Amino acid sequence: MLAEVPPVPAPPGAAAWAATGAAASPAAAGGGGQRPGMRPWLLFSGLGPIGALCTAPGLARAFTALVLGGWDLAGMAEVSELIVSEFSTNVVQAATEGDGCAIYQADGRLTQMWLRLMADATRVRIEVWDNLPPSAGVPVLRHPGQDEEHGRGLEMVGRFSRDWGWNPVPGMRAKFAWALLDAR
């Protein structure tokens, strides 16, 4: 069940991407690569592919706690689990009907997601990848009213992380949401 996200070829102009100050390109986000001129991630672990079903966020939280504990970063687990839960829940909500039934993709398959965790002595990076169609939308920060029950998750991600965002995966019908946290 444990597998890395499928390898992604480095997009043309990866050096230009890094020069913009944007998040690392997917090919350079961790594991086997890095942004040009940046040090590699010392620690990497990935989970997936897993079906974007209602049980996926709980699995992703448990995996996060286990991995960070193994990396001697258990103090980062609570905040990291919150962020992983938000990102993975957003994927599941976009991949299911209001009654909880899965929306199958055009090829008849379930939406899949992957979790990638990376760390070094000063940072933890969380990525949740998915293969939702572009019509499913992208993560958007909202400012809900006091009476609204939903829409505060990405505000919390912003509050607890140094930076966050999302990127498309060049050459694939996929995207990933990411957050960068300061290791404490």
Sequence-distant (6+) residues with CB within 8 A of 168 are 174, 175
Say if residues 65 and 85 touch (Cβ distance below 8 Å): no
In a domain, 110, yes or no: yes
User: Do the domain assignments include residue 6?
Assistant: no
**pLDDT for the residue numbered 150:** 64
User: 111 to each of 5, 43, 133, 144, how far by Cα in Å?
Assistant: 14, 27, 9, 28
Average pLDDT, stretch 69-91?
Answer: 95
51 within some domain: yes
Q: What average pLDDT does this structure show over 80-84?
A: 97
CATH number at residue 50: 3.30.565.10
For 30-49, what is the mean pLDDT?
Answer: 70
Report the distance separating Cα 131 and Cα 112, nearest Å.
6
Kindly report the pTM of this predicted structure. Answer: 0.76
Q: Print the domain residue range for 96.
A: 43-182
Look at residue 130 and tell me if it is in a domain. yes
Q: Is residue 17 part of a domain?
A: no
Domain count for the chain, please give it: 1
In a domain, 122, yes or no: yes
